[in-house]
Amino acid sequence: MTIYSLYIFDRHCTCVYYQDWHRSKRPRPASSGGILPGVSNAISGLSDTQGGQRSSITPSGGTVVAVGNGELDWPDTAGSMSALSFDEEVKLVYGIILSLKQMVKKMAVKDDTLVNYRTSTYKLHLYETMTGYRFVILTDPHAESLRFALRQLYTGPFLDYVVRNPLMVMDSKEQGIDNELFRAATDRFIRGLSMYN
Amino acid sequence: MAIYALWVINKAGGLVYQRNFTADGLAPLSSNDALVLAGTLHGIHAITAKLSPTGSSSGCQVIEAETFKLHILLTATGTKFVLLTSPAELQAQADSVLRRVYEAYADGVMKNPFQTPEMPIRSEGFDARVGAIVKPA
């Protein structure tokens, strides 16, 4: 029972946040300009131009990512890179969600939306808020529906550290919602779920 | 615990067989709508295989909405059998229905010398066998 990754999309159909835990195929760094700044230090291809090298430790499995001179240094872990760059992957995730929601809407009698789908190696759960934010989480295929967990993530860490944070620019088209408190809180929350590990 | 419909999609993504078992449960689809949805599902199935966070994956096997569930069996030849059921349907039950439909397909459709492969299926024998599988008398 593991949790692989979390994506948050806003109502402009862009990814504003990403975090992962146990993913064995590392996401390939995005081509520069492909994703917004402030989504995740781990996959941003942008260098830190404000002088000084900065290294940030991502909470997932202790990988150390040094963002300095525009090159990302992945340690030689057992996992290989996935074939898609991160911005392509994010577009595919969003496209799948959108197509499946349209399909479900067409086929159902009453108002209905996608809850989750499962393949042989992962399960993708979706929770959508009234304001158009879409929380997407990928887990192992045997997990129960995590919709409740995504809802708790929304009402807990998201409302506290993003919505109520006066420094966070939500709904902008140029900025993600990555911040340390939110990242730490979601990490704690996800690790605290009974199905993590 | 009900089965709403069955679709068979060929390896190019075209709908070759569509059968509804109950009048309610799902919104009525015109045959054009059904063709479009089958093509969309074919594409979605291909992309879900690529998004796996851990290496190679099959395409999606179960898609769950609030009022129905979609089970997909992908055969070795690329044909997809799609079963639309109520949300309470058990995984094992749906899988067994799909397997038996696949057997009926192998017998009634593939072995039929008058059936052009990948073309729409018009076979009374196949219809009868599918009816017997879904609604055992």
Question: What residue ranges define each of the domains in chain B, with the CATH number in brackets?
Answer: 3-134 (3.30.450.70)
Percent of chain A's residues with pLDDT above 90: 42
Pick the residue of A117, A139, A145 with the most B CBs within 10 A to test the interface with B by mutation.
A117
Residues within 8 A of B (CB atoms), A 61-120 only: 82-84, 89, 92-93, 95-96, 99-100, 102-104, 106-110, 112-120
By Cβ distance, the residue of A83, A89, A121 closest to B54 is A121
Phi, psi of B74 (to 5 degrees): -100, 125
Closest residue by Cα to residue B70 from B31, B40, B47:
B40
Top pLDDT among A86 and A151 is at A151
Q: Which residues contact A131 (CB under 8 A, 6 or more apart)?
A: A11
- Asked whether residue A62 carries a pLDDT value surpassing 70, the answer given is no
Q: How many CB pairs under 8 A join A and B?
A: 112
- Asked whether residue A33 carries a pLDDT value surpassing 50, the answer given is no
pLDDT confidence tier of residue A123, bands split at 50, 70 and 90: very high
By Cβ distance, the residue of B37, B51, B58 closest to A96 is B51
Integer CA distances (angstroms), B13 to A48, A61, B59, B79, in order:
46, 40, 14, 9
Closest chain A C-alpha to B25 CA, distance in angstroms: 7
By Cβ distance, the residue of B27, B62, B64 closest to A107 is B27
- Coil, strand, or helix at residue A102? helix
CB contact under 8 A, A117 and B51: no
By Cβ distance, the residue of A95, A116, A138 closest to B53 is A138
What confidence tens digit (pLDDT) does each residue in B7-59 have? 999 999 999 999 999 878 888 889 999 999 999 999 999 999 988 888 788 88
Integer CA distances (angstroms), A179 to A16, A120, B73, B124, B133, in order:
11, 33, 42, 62, 55
Integer CA distances (angstroms), A21 to A2, A7, A144, A183, in order:
9, 12, 18, 12
Residues of B with CB under 8 A from a CB of A: 24-27, 29, 33, 37, 40-41, 43-44, 47-68, 84
Query: Angle, nearest 10°, between helix axes A86-107 and B31-50?
Result: 150
pLDDT at position A70: 35
CB-based contact A41:A67 (threshold 8 Å): yes
pLDDT at position A37: 58
Query: Angle, nearest 10°, between helix axes B91-105 and B124-134?
Result: 160
- β-pair type (A64-67, A3-9): unpaired
CB contact under 8 A, A96 and B48: yes
Top pLDDT among A5 and A175 is at A5
pLDDT confidence tier of residue B112, bands split at 50, 70 and 90: very high
CB contact under 8 A, B26 and A117: no
Closest chain B C-alpha to A4 CA, distance in angstroms: 7
- Asked whether residue A154 carries a pLDDT value surpassing 70, the answer given is yes
Burial of A177 per CB tally in 10 Å (0-12, 13-18, 19+): buried
Distance of CA B114 to the CA centre of its chain: 22
pLDDT at position B71: 96
What confidence tens digit (pLDDT) does each residue in B60-84 have? 999 999 999 999 999 999 999 999 9
A1 touches B at CB < 8 Å: no
pLDDT confidence tier of residue A29, bands split at 50, 70 and 90: low
Burial of B11 per CB tally in 10 Å (0-12, 13-18, 19+): middle
Report the C-alpha gap between B19 and B99 in whole angstroms: 17
Top pLDDT among B9 and A79 is at B9
A3-191 is a CATH 3.20.19.10 domain: no
CB-based contact A17:A154 (threshold 8 Å): no
pLDDT at position B136: 74
Report the C-alpha gap between A168 and B4 in whole angstroms: 47
Mean pLDDT of A139-166: 92
pLDDT at position A64: 37
A20-29, A95-104, B43-52: least confidently modelled range: A20-29
User: CB-hemisphere CA count at 13 Å for B49?
Assistant: 10
pLDDT confidence tier of residue A150, bands split at 50, 70 and 90: very high
Distance of CA B33 to the CA centre of its chain: 16
Phi, psi of A131 (to 5 degrees): -90, 10
CB contact under 8 A, B51 and A24: no
- β-pair type (B62-65, B69-74): antiparallel
Residue B30: CB atoms within 10 A of its CB come to 8
